[in-house]
Structure 1
Amino acid sequence: MGKQEDINELFKSSESDVYGEGLTPKQKRILEAAIQMFSEKGYSSSSTSEIAKRAEVAEGTIFRHYKTKKELLLAIVTPVMSNLLAPFIIRDLDKVLKKNYKSYEDFLIAIVKNRQEFIEKHISIVKILIQEIPFHDELRSQFIDRIGKEVYTRLEAIVSHFQAKGELVEMPTQTAIRLTASSIGGFLFARYILLPEHDWNDEEELKHTIHFIMNGMKAR
């Protein structure tokens, strides 16, 4: 799925929910151009003049709708994360989290493949979130409230289940989740953000990542 399709999928059928009366054609072009620019160059390196050029509008048109570049960023990320991305992530994760797995290893394989599919579909928005959340308190709070807490609760139940079965070593569930998430997150970050052009063997990397997690967490 290309970037334009990615953007359209996130906005289609929910514009009125996110933006009240919906977007004008020029607003939509501005937002699409800003998503592309922020994803490719980062927020700080993208200028409103470049966004205007890509959107094929005058730069003044941007400022008629959005007073500052920061307001433009928030106009993209806050409603998308709150109303589209958060429920979309939760709904997508539920395909994995609500299944019964024979082992924690089976669960890890399923969750990594699920997240890879999501990232590949929505790479531009994912890049913006990763790049900008650490630097904007508003975005960080939105992510924690809309996504982080909900996902954590589901993961906590899964880890506790496999600890109760005696499959995982006894440790605080938050520690088990942190160790699992940091290993998987590190792989996905390197794969799609840091070194996307590298010649990746996804199956081998997945196998090594899960082997690393299980060797550290598996009950002896």
Structure 2
Amino acid sequence: MSNHSSMLSEIFPEEEQSNLTDKQKKILESAIEAFSKKGYAATSTNEIAKMAGVAEGTIFRHYKTKKELLSAIVSPLLTKMVAPFILKEFKKDVFDKEYNSYSDFLRKLIENRLTFAKRNSPLLKILIQEMAFQPEFKKTFQTIFMEHIYPLFKNVIKHFKEKGELKDLPEDTIIRLTISTIVSTIITRIIILNDSQVDEEQYVSDTIQFIMSGVRSVKKE
């Protein structure tokens, strides 16, 4: 469970971790492992208690319901993902650079998000699995994207449309096509392919080629 123990450091600041009892840490670690493997609905608190080596009643002393336990994992993760320093680093690494082409921008964006996804794969599996059933999680992601990422993304697309590299499609359409493909690529890589042998450089290149085939401007001779 050591990998999942390290997940706690991804979602809880050090000072918050120090406020957790050893039993709480074991419960959270076990919940991360169980939810990421089986999903929230298919996991019982009794299973989590057995994995954590505690009585089921101990879980309910800390978390009133299984939903509250899920929120105890997901809410700090969402908060951390929108924390100023996280957004600042993402913006600096991806959007505060100049690119020769939209393809170059896509490569940087995909590689950045793949690295993040692999580092947080158990937690992201839980988020992906539960987004369809927990509307508050989906709403939070939509808010994050629209407030912090969308304006930057739109400026990048406007730039390459003005250069004549991209089709004269609405920016929203190009963003939707790009994001849906990248999200599908990351989900496939992290959840379906998992640790199988993948030529990641080729995997990224194929994704870029697929996106560009839909958005690249056809220059007239």
TM-score normalised according to structure 2 size? 0.88
**1:46 lines up with 2:50 in the alignment:** no
Change (3 A) 1:74 1:10: closer
Aligned to 1:196: 194
In 2, the alpha carbon distance for the partners of 1:91 and 1:125 equals 21
Distance 1:126 1:148 in 2: 20
Greater mean alpha carbon deviation, residues 22-31 or residues 167-176: 22-31
Instruction: Say if 2:11 and 2:73, in contact at 8 Å, map to a contact too.
Output: no
* Distance change in 2, residues 1:53/1:148 (3 Å): farther
Displacement of 1:199: 3.2
Mark the runs of 5 or more structure 2 residues left unpaired by the alignment: none
Alignment of 1:52-91 (within 5 A): 52-82=49-79, 84-87=80-83, 90-91=87-88
What's the CA shift for 1:147?
4.3
Q: CA RMSD in A?
A: 2.1
1:55-108 superposed Cα distances (whole Å, 9 cap, x missing partner): 2221101111111111111121123212x1222652442111111111111111
Q: Which runs of 5+ in 1 are unaligned?
A: none
| Alpha-carbon distance, 1:125 to partner | 0.9
Deviation of 1:190 after TM superposition, in Å, equals 1.1
With normalisation by structure 1, the TM-score equals 0.89
Q: Report SS of the residue matched to 1:135.
A: coil
Residue in 1 that maps onto 2:4: 3
What corresponds to 2:185 in structure 1?
A: 187
Contact map agreement 1:86 1:147 (CA 8 A) in 2: no
Equivalent pair of 1:90/1:147 in contact (CA under 8 Å): no
Give the corresponding residue for 2:22: 25
Instruction: Check the 8 A contact 1:112/1:184 in 2, yes or no.
Output: yes
Change (3 A) 1:147 1:217: closer
1:159, 1:141 → 2: CA distance?
24
- Of all paired residues, the percent bearing the same amino acid is 43
Residues 1-220 of structure 1 aligned to structure 2 (within 5 Å): 2-13=3-14, 15=16, 22-82=19-79, 84-87=80-83, 90-94=87-91, 95-220=93-218
Q: Give the 3-state SS of the residue equivalent to 2:14 in structure 1.
A: coil
Cα deviation, 1:13-43, whole Å, max 9, x if unaligned, reads: 2527xxxx93222222211211111111110
Q: Residue 137 and residue 60 in structure 1: after superposition, are their counterparts in 2 closer, same or farther (change >3 A)?
A: same
Residues 73 and 93 of structure 1: CA distance in aligned 2, closer, same or farther (over 3 Å): same
Bigger CA drift: 115-124 or 89-98? 89-98
Q: Which amino acid aligns with 1:25?
A: D
Residue identity opposite 2:130 in structure 1? E
